[in-house]
Amino acid sequence: MLLINLWNLQRDPQVWPNPNEFQPERFLTTHQDIEFMSQNFELIPFSFGRRSCPGMTFGLQVLHLTLARLLQGFHMCTKDALQVDMTEGLGVALPKEHALQLILKPRLPLHLYETL
């Protein structure tokens, strides 16, 4: 049996600068040359090869659109303006030890959101 240490692969400092810091903006400027259909181990959650996820491209596009709409429509802040705790809990998918609680404040008047 061959087991792959995904946790270590996804935190390789040679691939991801400061891998333990939450930096979603890193994907805007780095790793733009990644071919999603090749065997890039940075994208291992989708698997690779013949058994790779057939909905990977669609899933990434929907995620991108959803996050863009949320960022466009709402101001986001944490409860009591606390720093986000990135401590990982135990489990197969490595959930966060403490759930992230966000407060969303609409950027526009509420009647404009009713048409969306």
Among 11, 20, 73, residue whose Cα is nearest residue 44:
11
Residue pair 102/76 in contact by the 8 Å Cβ criterion:
yes
CB 40 within 8 A of CB 10: no
Annotated binding residue at 77? no
Annotated binding site: 53
Please report, in range form, the residues annotated as the binding site for heme.
53
